[in-house]
Amino acid sequence: MTFSSLMRKSPSATPKPRLTADEFIDQASYYAAGQAHPKLKVVESPGPVSPCAGEPMKTTSVRLTDDARETLDALSQKTGISRSRLVRIWLGQLDPEVEAQSFLASVIR
């Protein structure tokens, strides 16, 4: 284990603001009734994403340019989805058979 692996890393998404007890109870009563809270925005999923529940995950490190890292961070901040989940979503939407040639022809290194 190296020193850099022990360093605290910044979170990839901003934490949600804390609820007061009254707000929590109000939202829980709507949830128990099977209704959406009027103040909460319901967001539909952009496409099917296979769940990760039960699947073993392994830590993987990749090298990214500063621009790619900033783009991934910005998308994470905008959506509230962690960087690793964004990568899993992107990979889940790829068809390797169809897109292999475009990857091979890419000028991005």
Number of structural domains, the chain?
Answer: 1
Tens-level pLDDT at each residue, the chain (109 residues) = 566 666 666 766 777 778 788 888 888 888 888 877 777 766 666 665 555 566 788 888 888 899 999 999 999 999 989 898 898 888 888 887 777 888 888 888 7
* Residue 17 burial class via C-beta count within 10 angstroms: exposed 0-12, middle 13-18, buried 19 and up: exposed
Quickly list H helices, 10-58: 21-32
The residue type found at 69 is: R
In a domain, 1, yes or no: no
Report how far residue 11's alpha carbon sits from residue 9's, in angstroms, rounded to the nearest whole number. Answer: 6
In terms of residues, how long is the chain?
A: 109
Inside any domain, residue 25? yes
Please calculate the CA angle 20-23-24 and round it to the nearest 5 degrees. 85
Q: Are 12 and 73 in contact (CB under 8 A)?
A: yes
pLDDT per position as a tens digit, 93-104: 888 777 788 888
Q: Which domain holds residue 93?
A: 16-104
Would residue 2 count as lying in a domain?
Answer: no
Is residue 92 situated within a structural domain? yes
